[in-house]
């Protein structure tokens, strides 16, 4: 039997594919919904070789699951899209997608055409997103207390990680954090031998030549080559002639002059995309240069952006001294960290375009991996909050919007109203699941929260998962970035619409099968 498949009841044959897909989506949703909220628990992922990952990060769980059902794999795209675009809220987005599918199926099996349900859902999602945007509070300063609270929630109340992220943000500055092309989460690196640290600069994973004898470089220039550090080569046939051998010796002498020119220019750090000639290796050792071969092109680009170095080809070393000097980068300090087994390259006082690395440490590889995921979520939440503002968390904003949609539904003529009703019902799912994970009756507590929202005239009234009392979430610091909620709802709606429109599932012929 396929994953999540249940027997089709009599009279439902025409909905067989829809119900089968719905069951598969439900199976996937159930794998992550238990992690939602402050009382959510972790999931243990076990590999076929006994490797273990313990996490409550939605996208990690879904990425590592063994999933074969095509509709279930569609749902996983929700978490991946949320992770790629926002970096946080993957579990909530997945739960919302599952709820939209379930509510849509309920309307379709009642006799509402799938096209009408999908059209209504699209209207409802647009209305909900517009409402969420209008309710968001802007973040104008890194010292805004709501920003720290959003990072605290995304960081799962790990104060040491929150402090790490806020310290890094202060160094980076709000201008760079507002740049969509910059992702603070990419600056997070995990190491089981390290301690929590914000380092102003970059860490390179590649090892230098002779790491234990690597020099500590101060105020040094950097050469980056998209090439090997070696003399130009000649074909073996050319070397058999006297003129060819003379040409070979000229190239060797020219290469020696190029190396000497690098030393005269004060080059101390050499980063290579490829390897290094033994003569160049010895020269660099004799002149106190640190050489790091086989550096990835992405890392070379990062170092180039930070230090101002222009990546060169080998022939560029023939340039005159002054033009070549302008193509070199600069760092106030570069050294090999034996504890982390990484090369540290400091950015120094480059405040116009600062670079940071968030080093997250722990005692074991399993723990440090989860800590790094938490730090990345917190960093992503910080940037999302700056980009789109803050909303009350815990599903309270969605609860308020769901009732607003129900009122709007009454003014909609046509069967699209059923799709809007499906969105309204699905928006209550995050709070319902959080309350369920905390051990409360969701129906009872959600009614209490909604009654409090109406009586107080504010959206941030929710249930304290410790006491069960209704509280002001914003006063307690329970807030989320608006962009996390909005993008999650949009992505969930797109995937739910795709699943609901599937009438039949047909296996394709193998691409390797020969035609008759």
pLDDT tens, position by position, 89-116: 888 999 999 999 999 999 999 889 999 9
The reply to whether 281 and 419 lie within a common domain is: no
**Run of H or E residues at 177:** helix 174-177
Q: How many CA atoms lie within 13 A of 54 on its CB side?
A: 7
Q: Which two tokens stand for residue 340?
A: 């982390």
pLDDT of residue 494: 93
Structural contact between residues 412 and 119, judged by C-beta atoms closer than 8 angstroms: no
pLDDT digits (tens, 9 = 90+) for 403-442: 999 998 888 888 999 999 999 999 999 999 999 999 999 9
CA angle 313, 319, 321 (to 5 degrees): 125
Task: Give the CATH number for residue 102.
Answer: 1.10.560.10
Cα distance between the two ends of the chain = 31
Residue 227 forms part of a structural domain? yes
Q: Is the pTM of this model over 0.85?
A: no
User: Residue 284 belongs to what domain range?
Assistant: 201-355
Do 350 and 397 fall within a single domain? no
Mean pLDDT computed over every residue of the chain: 88
User: In whole angstroms, what is the distance from residue 439 CA to residue 511 CA?
Assistant: 50
Q: Are 101 and 500 in contact (CB under 8 A)?
A: yes
For residue 504, is pLDDT > 70?
A: yes
How far is Cα 287 from Cα 316, in angstroms, rounded to an integer? 21
Give residue-wise pLDDT tens across range 332-348: 999 999 888 899 999 86
Kindly state whether residue 1 falls inside one of the protein's structural domains: no
* pLDDT tens string 258-304: 999 999 999 999 999 999 999 999 999 999 999 999 999 999 999 99
Report the percent of the chain where pLDDT is more than 70. 93
Round to whole Å and give the CA distance between 174 and 177.
5
Judge whether 196 lies within some domain.
Answer: no
Please identify, among 312, 328, 355, the residue that sits at the C-terminal boundary of a domain: 355
**How buried is 153 (Cβ within 10 angstroms: 0-12 exposed, 13-18 middle, 19+ buried)?**
buried
Answer yes or no: is 195 within a domain. no
Domain check: are 113 and 259 in the same one? no
3-class SS string, 449-495: HHHHHHHHCCCCEEECCCCCCEEECCCCCCEEEHHHHHHHHHHHHHH
pLDDT of residue 38: 87
User: Angle at CA 57, nearest 5°, toward 54 and 62?
Assistant: 90
- Does one domain contain both 339 and 404? no
Q: Are 25 and 131 members of one domain?
A: yes
Token code pair at residue 489 = 């709802």
- Quick one: pLDDT at residue 513? 56
The domain tally of the chain equals 2
Same domain for 351 and 216: yes
Residues 340 and 397 in one domain: no
**DSSP codes, 48-98:** TTS-EEEE--HHHHHHHS----HHHHHHHHHHHHHHHHTSS-HHHHHHHHH
Residue 81 lies in a domain: yes
347 and 422 together in one domain = no
Dihedral Cα 377, 382, 383, 386, nearest 10 deg: 150
Strands (E), 245-398: 267-272, 290-292, 329-337, 342-346, 357-361, 390-392
Nearest to 139 by CA among 483, 475, 390, 473: 390
Report the pLDDT value the prediction gives residue 351, as an integer from 0 to 100.
Answer: 58
Instruction: Answer yes or no: do 413 and 281 share one domain.
Output: no
Dihedrals phi, psi of 486, to nearest 5 degrees: -70, -50
274 contacts 289 by C-beta, under 8 angstroms: no
405 located within any domain: yes
Residue 28 counted as domain residue: yes
Residues 349, 253 share a domain: yes
Structure token digits, residue 267: 């080059």
**Same structural domain for residues 246 and 340?**
yes
User: Which tops the pLDDT comparison, 343 or 233?
Assistant: 343
Specify if 193 maps to a domain. Answer: no
We report the CATH number of the domain holding residue 207 as 3.50.7.10
Non-local (6+) Cβ contacts of 381 within 8 A are: 87, 88, 150, 151, 153, 154, 155, 480, 481, 484
Alpha-carbon gap, residue 90 to 384, rounded angstroms: 13
Could you tell me if 206 and 351 lie in one domain? yes
Sign of the C-alpha dihedral, residues 239, 245, 249, 254?
negative
């Amino acid at each position: 039997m396929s994953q999540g498949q249940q027997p089709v009841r009599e009279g439902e044959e025409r909905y067989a594919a829809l119900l089968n897909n719905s069951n598969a989506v439900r199976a996937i949703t159930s794998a992550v919904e238990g992690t939602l909220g402050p009382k959510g628990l972790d999931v243990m992922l076990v590999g076929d070789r006994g490797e273990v990952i313990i996490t409550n990060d939605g996208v990690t769980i879904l990425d590592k699951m063994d999933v074969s059902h095509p509709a279930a794999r569609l749902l996983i795209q929700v978490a991946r899209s949320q992770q790629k675009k926002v970096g946080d809220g993957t579990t909530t987005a997945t739960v919302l997608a599952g709820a939209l599918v379930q509510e849509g199926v309920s309307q379709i099996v009642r006799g509402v055409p799938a096209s009408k349900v999908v059209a209504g859902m699209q209207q409802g999602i647009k209305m909900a997103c517009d409402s969420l945007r209008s309710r968001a509070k802007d973040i104008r300063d890194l010292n805004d207390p709501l920003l720290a609270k959003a990072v605290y929630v995304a960081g799962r109340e790990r104060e040491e990680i929150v402090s790490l992220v806020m310290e890094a943000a202060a160094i980076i500055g709000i201008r760079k954090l507002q740049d969509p092309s910059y992702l603070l989460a990419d600056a997070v690196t995990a190491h089981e031998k390290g301690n929590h640290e914000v380092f102003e600069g970059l860490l390179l994973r590649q090892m230098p030549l002779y790491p234990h004898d690597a020099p500590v470089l101060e105020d040094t220039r950097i050469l980056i080559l998209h090439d090997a550090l070696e003399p130009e080569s000649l074909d073996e046939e050319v070397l058999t002639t006297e003129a060819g051998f003379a040409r070979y010796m000229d190239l060797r002498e020219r290469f020696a002059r190029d190396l000497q020119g690098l030393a005269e220019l004060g080059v101390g750090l050499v980063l290579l995309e490829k390897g290094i000639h033994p003569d160049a290796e010895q020269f660099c050792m004799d002149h106190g240069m640190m050489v790091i071969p086989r550096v990835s092109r992405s890392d070379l680009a990062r170092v180039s952006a930070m230090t101002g170095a222009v990546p060169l080809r080998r022939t560029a070393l023939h340039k005159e001294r002054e033009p070549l000097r302008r193509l070199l980068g600069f760092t106030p300090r570069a050294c090999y960290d034996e504890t982390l087994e990484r090369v540290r390259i400091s950015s120094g006082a480059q405040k116009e375009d600062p670079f940071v690395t968030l080093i997250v440490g722990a005692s074991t590889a399993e723990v440090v991996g989860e800590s790094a995921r938490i730090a990345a979520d917190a960093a992503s939440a910080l940037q999302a909050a700056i980009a789109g503002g803050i909303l009350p968390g815990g599903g309270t904003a969605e609860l308020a919007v769901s009732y607003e949609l129900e009122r709007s539904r009454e003014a909609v003529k046509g069967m699209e109203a059923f799709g809007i009703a499906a969105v309204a019902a699905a928006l209550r799912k995050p709070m319902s699941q959080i309350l369920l994970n905390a051990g409360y009756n969701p129906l009872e507590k959600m009614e209490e929260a909604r009654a409090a929202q109406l009586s107080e005239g504010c959206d941030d009234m929710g249930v304290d998962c410790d006491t069960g009392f209704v509280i002001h979430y914003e006063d307690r610091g329970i807030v989320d970035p608006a962009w996390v909620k909005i993008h999650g709802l949009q992505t969930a709606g797109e995937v739910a619409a795709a699943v609901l429109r599937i009438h039949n599932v047909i296996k394709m012929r193998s691409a390797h099968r020969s035609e008759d």
